[in-house]
Amino acid sequence: MSKAPATTAAAAGKVEPYIPASQSLPELTVGVLILGCILSVVLGAANAYLGMFAGMTVSASIPAAVISMAVLRAFKGNILQNNAVQTAAASGEGLASGVIFTIPALVLLGVWSHFSYVETTLIAGFGGILGVLFTIPLRRALIIEHPLQFPEGVATAEVLKVGAQGGGGIGLIAGAALIGAIGKLGSTGLRMWAETAAWGSWAGKSAVTVGINMSPALLGVGFIVGLNVAVVIFAGAVMDHWIAIPLFSQVGDAATIVTDKVNGAAHLNLAQLLDGASVSDTADLIHKYATRYLGVGMMLVGGFWALFKLRKSLIGGIKAGLEAYKGGGGGEGPIRTERDMPMNIILILIGVSVVPLFFIFHHFTESWGISAVMSVVMLIAGFLFSAVASYMAGLVGSSNNPVSGITISTILVSALLLLAMGMKSPAGPVAAILIGGIVCCAAAIGGDNLQDLKCGQLVGSTPWKQQVMQIIGVVVAAFMMAPILDLLNDSYGIGKGLPAPQAGLMASVAGGVFNGGLPWGIVGIGAAIAVVVIIIDVSLEKAGAKFRVPVMAFAVGAYLPFDLTLPIFLGGIVAYAVSKWLDSVGADAHRRSVAERHGLLAAAGLITGEALLGILLAIPISIQKSTNAVALFMTKDDKGHDIARFGDERIPGVILCIVVLGFLYWAAKRPETTKS
């Protein structure tokens, strides 16, 4: 299903807001602050789980807006209060993305056995605050003077307007959340069915497999990103699993791929692991230790390509944003809807944020000079990439923002710079991860920041009040990140039950620069493939084709396990089916908007329900130190392997997937109701 249309008045730069500037309504009330903080933590935790499980996160703005409307309706809340709540909630979700893409790498590298509360909180909190501050000067440039689409901001504004006019949605999101929770409880909790279904066979020496993770959340992710992105992600997986893995089985030298060298492991190689492995295990091992580095090479090229492609627009946008403050009384406009946080306050807060980060750098490096260089690199990269992320969010939305590619580029450049300065392992990889973590938090928040400010422009919010809510949402979520990550790590194991693909990638890149062990030949092949993908995408762009091939989506598909990409692909197919149905009935713009909203709410509910149930299950699992803590329906086969008690453990999960896909299709086709 297509995103919100960019050609409507809602996507234009100068629009008449829903609440005019001449009218003042309450925005930052006690109830708004409390609800915003709660949703920031809850949805941040849900996205932390989803990101480490599936390798991607989704925007929390729409579900937060619907929940806020349901809660504040009893207190006669207004549209600006609901927007303030979703702004804080989106900050928590954005911060979770920045944290889980990078900070778990310190556990994977063996630096931490658990997440240090002080360091994690400071890195997340001040990194996120910098993301808010860096992007405030870009509001005028990207939203007003050179307006971009900001599809999720436009969609959230439409949901808020519908709520203000008496529309509903809380019933739909609650029902979807229940389905998502049941799916997680049945598979991971009670173990009534398997989480994944896999099939494979040998083709000579080559392992050919197909598998699906039967997760309602992943089906929802596919529905949200749409068919185009879902197809490209799946194409990357097909290239890796059905072409690269069989080729590596035939001609690859497994003895040269040293496993876990990043973590300081001894002399184990992939050939030893493959000896006697089953077909599925063989494919998984080759992907984990060899072919997924095709995705690494593609992400590196994709990150630098994004910078190159945006260079003119980025520089122009930054200049226009900064010039708006010259002689303007700190950016305060003559009307309420043009008042940003004053520039002098922004600069002071940036300076204050750098100080504790500098001392964290020194704590790990024990060098004042290197810490100073790291601080400078962090500031430059943080500002630059926050601007890039903001621009990309305006083009493709926050959920599709290639923050991981940006972070990989930062870590690689930082690691090479630190290596040139004489840093060695173990301090070198840690220092590069720290810089990348702060930049990733800033970039993730930057994209969400501009998305929310676009929504605020459309509904008539006061910018500086939104910016305050963004900072509050970041701070509250930052205080809870370490306990949430520890709970998930103790229960599922980061890098095991929770693959945390981006964090593993960051650890591999940072550690590989200092310790070796990266298959640079495969990385180079991935980089070459990325160049081909970019050429194809540019050709499609010049031809005016609707279908595009974003290199970062293709790279993510190659990097993720195959079973995670197939449900995303299926969700994208349902989104396309809904779009074709709308075409067949001649639906007008309003009917399409209703289908868009209902589909997004249902998909967001599936994600939220599964993620929150996953976190709740983590409590008994952590207490009993067993993933089978509530596995009432689990038994063992004749080889001692854990299996579901009833028949083929794959069948119930497949049925669940079919039901969820049907539910998404039904939800999007529902007519509009005032109560749902």
Measuring CA to CA, how many Å separate 205 from each of 201, 245, 252, 558, 676? 10, 11, 12, 21, 55
Residue 164 near residue 79, CB atoms below 8 Å: yes
d(CA 470, CA 449): 7
Residue 514 near residue 195, CB atoms below 8 Å: no
d(CA 315, CA 405): 20
CA atoms 316, 320, 322, 323: torsion sign: positive
- What are the DSSP calls for 97-161, one per residue? HHHHTTTTHHHHTTS-SS--HHHHHHHHHHHHHHHHHHHGGGHIIIIIIS----HHHHHHHHHHH
Lookup result for tokens 């929504």: 455
| pLDDT tens-digit series, residues 627-648 | 677 877 766 666 666 666 655 6
| pLDDT tens-digit series, residues 140-183 | 777 876 666 676 787 788 778 877 876 667 788 888 889 999 99
Question: Which range among 199-208, 238-247, 602-611 has the greatest average pLDDT?
Answer: 238-247
Q: Which of 227-236, 536-545, 602-611 has the lowest mean pLDDT?
A: 602-611
| pLDDT tens-digit series, residues 406-457 | 787 788 888 888 888 888 877 888 899 999 999 999 988 988 888 899 999 9
**Structure confidence at residue 244 (pLDDT):** 92
Which residues lie below 8 Å from residue 145, measured CB to CB, with a gap of 6+?
13, 320
What's the distance, CA 310 to chain centroid?
A: 21
DSSP state of 670: P
Lookup result for tokens 């940003």: 340
| pLDDT tens-digit series, residues 100-124 | 989 999 988 888 888 999 999 999 9
Q: What is the mean pLDDT of residues 574-579?
A: 94
ω into residue 426 within 30 of 0, thus cis? Answer: yes
Taking the model in full, what pTM does it have? Answer: 0.74
**Structure confidence at residue 37 (pLDDT):** 95
Split at pLDDT 50, 70, 90, the class of 324 is: low
What's the distance, CA 659 to chain centroid?
A: 26
Q: What is the chain's Cα-based Rg? A: 24
